[in-house]
């Protein structure tokens, strides 16, 4: 079965939209692995805790300080961009996405990153102690980088957030959120037929739903052999933070009997789910 998660990357995301010279909004959210512990909506001046364990092991005072840092950043960032727009040839609407985070690795090591995209393309990142432009960023980004690199205070704050705060936050969340992060929820599976792909053909559909965590392996089988024509859909979210997947197989109507759908998931141990196509699934 797919191995359960051993590592939980933490990523904070910022989405800033500048529609025109006066309308803008910035939303923030953060993920730990597949779960979202935080939100910071444009309309709000407080970090929203979405999980009972979101506080981690930080004190109320530490959270006050972090929240203050992000609120100052949000308004400074917006002001900065209004200024940069004057020096860039770009016109509204502008879309800026910032993502940053960290992951704890074995031997007490952690890895951090921070990067920003402009109009959907990577333009800059933070490396070591300074801002650098992305490989094929437009030349004018160099001007932005120059300005950003002159602000020693901000560079120190970014370094502190990435290399001190982030790994410490994650260490705490892995303790307080342990049972939810490591939960195992078994999938249910069922078969149906889809719209016929053509005369004399059947579309066999294997539905797998309600599993957590996300890694899963679903195959149409003939005996011990995987059917090469198996087509995986995308793993889709259910509302309860479990997942749903459908896997299809296009076969000649006469060859459907004896095929089976096999589901492997960490919650099932070695007890794969196996469902046999018996011809009663034709709708
Ligand atoms: C993603 C987390 C970054 C946290 C940074 C926190 C620091 C901060 O808020 N700096 C702003 C205020 O800085 C002043 O006050 C500080 C103390 O609060 C220090 O004393 C500091 O020395 C002093 O200057 C500062 O205004 C920053 O410039 C805010 C914005 C930083 C930034 O991320 N800019 C940015 C990011 C991406 C700009 C552009 C892009 C993408 C390119 C878009 C192309 C148009």
For the stretch 147-158, pLDDT in tens is 999 999 999 999
Each residue of 186-211: pLDDT tens digit?
999 999 999 999 999 999 999 999 99
Residue 80, ligand 1, Cβ within 6 A:
yes
Tell me how far apart the alpha carbons of residues 140 and 148 are, in angstroms, rounded to a whole number.
Answer: 13
Residue 245, ligand 1, Cβ within 6 A:
no
Query: Rounded to the nearest whole angstrom, what is the distance from the C-alpha of residue 17 to the centroid of ligand 1?
Result: 17
What is the atom index within ligand 1 of the atom nearest the CA of 90?
Answer: 45
What is the atom index within ligand 1 of the atom nearest the CA of 151?
Answer: 22
Q: Are 236 and 248 in contact (CB under 8 A)?
A: no
Nearest-CA residue for ligand 1 atom 19 is: 153
Nearest-CA residue for ligand 1 atom 32 is: 77
What pLDDT score does 88 carry?
Answer: 76
Residue 118, ligand 1, Cβ within 6 A:
yes
Tell me how far apart the alpha carbons of residues 201 and 183 are, in angstroms, rounded to a whole number.
Answer: 40
* Whether the bond into 93 is cis, omega within 30 of 0: yes
Block means of pLDDT (10 residues each) for the chain, 283 residues, are 74 97 96 97 98 98 98 97 84 96 95 98 98 95 96 98 98 98 98 96 97 97 96 95 97 94 98 93 68
Query: Rounded to the nearest whole angstrom, what is the distance from the C-alpha of residue 72 to the centroid of ligand 1?
Result: 9
Tell me how far apart the alpha carbons of residues 168 and 158 are, in angstroms, rounded to a whole number.
Answer: 15
The DSSP output letter for 183 is -
Tell me how far apart the alpha carbons of residues 23 and 84 are, in angstroms, rounded to a whole number.
Answer: 16
How wide is the angle at C-alpha 251 spanned by C-alphas 222 and 245, nearest 5°?
75
Each residue of 157-188: pLDDT tens digit?
999 999 999 999 999 999 999 999 999 999 99
How far is C-alpha 6 from the chain's CA centre?
Answer: 16
Tell me how crowded residue 53 is: count the other CB atoms within 10 A of its CB. 20
pTM for this predicted structure = 0.92
What pLDDT score does 89 carry?
Answer: 76
26, 66, 73, 152, best to mutate for ligand 1 pocket (most atoms within 8 Å of CB): 73
């Amino acid at each position: 079965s797919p191995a359960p998660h051993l590592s939980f990357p933490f990523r904070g995301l910022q989405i800033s939209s500048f529609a025109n010279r006066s309308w803008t909004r910035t939303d923030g959210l953060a993920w730990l692995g597949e779960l979202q512990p935080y939100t910071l909506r444009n309309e709000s001046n407080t970090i929203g805790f979405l999980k009972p364990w979101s506080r981690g092991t930080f004190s109320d005072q530490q959270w006050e300080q972090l929240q203050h840092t992000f609120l100052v950043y949000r308004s400074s960032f917006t002001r900065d961009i209004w200024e940069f727009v004057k020096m860039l040839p770009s016109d509204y609407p502008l879309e800026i996405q910032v993502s940053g985070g960290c992951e704890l690795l074995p031997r007490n090591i952690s890895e951090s990153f921070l990067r920003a995209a402009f109009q959907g393309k990577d333009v800059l990142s933070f490396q070591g102690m300074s801002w650098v432009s992305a490989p094929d960023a437009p030349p004018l980004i160099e001007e932005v980088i120059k300005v950003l690199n002159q602000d020693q205070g901000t560079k120190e704050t970014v370094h502190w957030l990435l290399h001190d705060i982030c790994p410490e936050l994650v260490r705490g969340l892995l303790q307080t959120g342990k049972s939810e992060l490591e939960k195992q929820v078994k999938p249910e599976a069922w078969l149906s037929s889809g719209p016929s792909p053509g005369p004399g053909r059947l579309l066999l559909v294997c539905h797998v739903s309600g599993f957590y965590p996300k890694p899963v392996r679903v195959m149409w089988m003939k005996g011990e052999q995987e059917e090469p024509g198996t087509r995986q859909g995308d793993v889709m979210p259910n509302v309860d933070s479990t997942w749903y997947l459908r896997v299809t197989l296009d076969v000649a109507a006469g060859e459907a009997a004896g095929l089976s759908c096999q589901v492997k998931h960490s919650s099932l141990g070695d007890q794969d789910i196996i469902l046999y196509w018996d011809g009663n699934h034709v709708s």
